[in-house]
Chain A
Amino acid sequence: MNRPALLTAPLLLFLLITFVAPIGAFLWRGVTDAEVAPVLPRTVAALVSWDGAATPDEAAFAALVADLRDARARDRETGIGSIPRAAARLNADRPGFRGLLPMTARRVEASIEGSMRDAVLAISEEWRDAETWGAIRRAGGPLSAFHGLMALDLRQDAAGSIRAVPDDQAVFRAVLMRSLWISLTVTAACLLLGWPIAWMIATAKGLPATLLLAAVMLPFWISLIVRTAAWMVLLQREGVVNAALGAVGVGPLALMMNRFAVVLAMVHILLPFMVLPLVAAFRGLDPRLPRAAASLGAAPWRVFLRVTLPLCLPGIGAGCVLVFIQALGFYVTPALLGGPNDQMLAWFVGFYATRSVNWGLAAALSVMLLAAVGLCVALYGKLAGFRRPGAA
């Protein structure tokens, strides 16, 4: 019997059920499509051999009518709205479907004489458009590139070629770039501000160093929402800063709901995560080495660039990666302090999951977010090495 493995088993099982499996199932939605195939199985099958150029033939229309009749009967029996759900999924691909599909389903219930094709086209000319059918084929599942492409502002047309969406519909590449850019700005600012205080904490002695460390540790422990609230109180229109500015005849200024407020608060929240690894790196630095370089005639800037910096690089890298990873996933602070153009990837994941119930897109955006985080974690492993406490 392997006792250590047995001791870890309960926790691993717990995390597997409450963490790994739910995230896996959620991300799976980003590469699959399950809403349309159960409603339109015969239509999806009939479209397999379709060329994607001209309006499909009578067989596809007949399949659509049969599918919609069955689905409507089933929906009425079970009380589950499978047609609206399929329509919502198709609407995400091609606006107009949300109305088109239920309306068509209602109208084909009456018995049809002659050609199904003519009857359906009489209901809506939309069915003549190859792209209408292309949307059904793309959503036919089970695997689907639709959400992944959408998260990159790409789409596939009925004939199968992939191209960028028109500029006025492109959203997500800008959101990704914005998230990366905000995170990068925050990381750079944290490094710039964190360096001097970390250096003093590491090299000074006695009470001043303790006080500086306390100034870092205290905010570190105070909840993120409180610190965000504090910035709101400071920066809002009738806030502390504007009141002080008003007293000297300036303002009021719009200090909130902009990029500046988001970055400022994020730097404030994440700065301790930079300072603590830097302190560890500076403390691990042998003070004799820069002194030796100086005594050998190196100028101070040269000592810094050639001795101090390379020796501290793993610690610096670790601090930067730690801040960057956390910044990428920020939700609350941009939501409260930022305007509509300051929201990051996390906000869009939440938006598509809850408000527009587009799980596939939320999952595809999450994959993007996780990929960025994963790259950074790998980088961290390279820089700091994954220490193994107790491995001996």
Chain B
Amino acid sequence: MTRGLLWVVAVLVALFLLAPIIAILPLSFSSGSFLFYPLPGLSLRWYADFFTSDFWLPALWNSLGIGVAAAGLATLLGTPAAFGLWRMKGAFRAIAMGVVLAPMVVPVIVVAVALLLAFGPIGLVATYTGLVIAHAALGVPFVVVTVLAALEGFDPVQLRAASACGAGPLRAFFRVCLPQIAPGVAAGAIFAFATSLDEVVIALFIAGPAQRTLPRQMFAGLNDSISLTTAAAAAVLVGLSVVLLLVVMWLQRRGQAAR
């Protein structure tokens, strides 16, 4: 009895979670220009609008470019750091972990305003560099946590074996360790990319008109009047998110298979 009731509630909650997204997606295929049902007919006009627009298309390219650059920087910095933290003990490790994880818990508005103040005098406000740096800082904790989790399944004895066979530490890392934790590193990079792709607040405060990202453009669109092009943009972002989710699931399966 109780279990039946729990099932009903659980399914209702699942519907609550999916409903808004399911509701907005078909609207983007409407041939009319209203944001409600029933649809007058189906068309791709809003997608055509999105992909020919002088505002939306550059925003999409900005988002992808900044996301890739930020994820790359976060992965380059985060992977060796995770490896170091994995071999580390004691108070220094606790402090280092605190610093590395801080971007996950500090409210992003505080980061945005602080960076606006700090980047102003050094000319990084309204530049791609500034935005990439900020997004990389936000994405780094995800890289470190994911790589650390991947390293849990890696036996450090192999490193000693590699060293005994005459490999230097660098060679041992690249030839023995990295191939085994590669799915974790890739998943971390995707988490960092997704973080950048989602990010609105920092983009609002420190990006200029040239660096406007897709979420920032959506924020602006939502603030005055919602058009169906915004719905199409939302659908594009949902599509990207689904692709990223599938890639991460595939990587996790590979990571488990590697063990």
B97 to chain A, nearest CB (A): 8
Question: In the complex, what residue of chain B is closest to A369 when comparing beta carbons?
Answer: B107
A12 touches B99 (CB 8 A): yes
Q: Interface size on B (CB < 8 Å)?
A: 89
Q: Is A346 a contact of B109 with CB atoms below 8 Å? A: yes
The secondary-structure label for the interface of chain A is helix
Does A8 lie within 8 Å of B118, measured CB to CB?
A: no
Within 8 Å CB of B18, what residues of A?
Answer: 215, 218-219
B76 CB to closest chain A CB (Å) equals: 8
* B259 located at the interface, meaning its Cβ lies under 8 Å from any Cβ of chain A in the complex: no
Extra pairs beyond A4-B84, A229-B234, A373-B106 (17, CB < 8 Å): A7-B83, A10-B80, A11-B80, A23-B106, A26-B113, A26-B117, A199-B6, A216-B14, A225-B198, A226-B234, A229-B226, A229-B231, A239-B36, A325-B105, A329-B108, A386-B94, A390-B152
A129 CB contacts on chain B under 8 angstroms? none
Give complex CA distance A231, B230 in Å: 13
Interface segment among A34-42, A95-103, A137-145, A240-248: the answer is A240-248
Q: What is the chain A residue whose CB lies nearest that of B217?
A: A225
Q: Is A164 an interface residue (CB 8 A)?
A: no
Query: Which of B6, B100, B215 lies in contact with A225, CB distance below 8 A?
Result: B215
Chain B 137-166 interface residues, beta-carbon cutoff 8 Å to A? 137, 140, 144-145, 148-149, 151-152
**In the complex where A4-B84, A25-B118 touch, is A373 in contact with B107 (Cβ < 8 A)?**
yes
Taking chain B's interface residues, is the majority helix, strand, or loop, or is none over half, making it mixed? helix
Tell which of A13-21, A65-73, A117-125, A148-156 binds the partner. A13-21
Bound CA–CA A5/B97 (angstroms): 12
B68 at the interface (CB under 8 A from A): no
A22 contacts which chain B residues (CB < 8 A)?
Answer: 111, 114-115, 117-119
Contacts of B35 in A (CB 8 A): 233, 236, 238-240
Please count the residue pairs between chain A and chain B whose beta carbons lie under 8 angstroms apart in the complex. 264
B197 at the A/B interface (Cβ < 8 Å)? yes
Say yes or no: is B177 at the interface (Cβ < 8 Å to chain A). no
Interface segment, A86-94, A190-198, A289-297? A190-198
A359: Cβ under 8 A from any B Cβ: yes
Closest A residue to B103 by CB, please name it. Answer: A19
Most-contacted residue by chain A among B13, B105, B140, B242 (CB, 10 A): B13
Contact A8 B105, beta carbon cutoff 8 Å: no
Q: How far is the CB of B146 from chain A (nearest CB, A)?
A: 10
Q: Which residues of B contact A236 (CB under 8 A)?
A: 35, 226
A222 touches B17 (CB 8 A): no
- Give Cα A359–Cα B84 distance, bound, in whole angstroms: 38
Q: How far is the CA of A133 from the CA of B226 in the complex (A)?
A: 50
User: In the docked arrangement, what's the CA distance between A391 and B88, Å?
Assistant: 7
**Could you tell me if B107 and A196 are in contact, using CB atoms closer than 8 angstroms?**
no
Chain A residues 351-377 with CB under 8 Å of chain B are 353-354, 359, 362, 366, 369-370, 373, 377
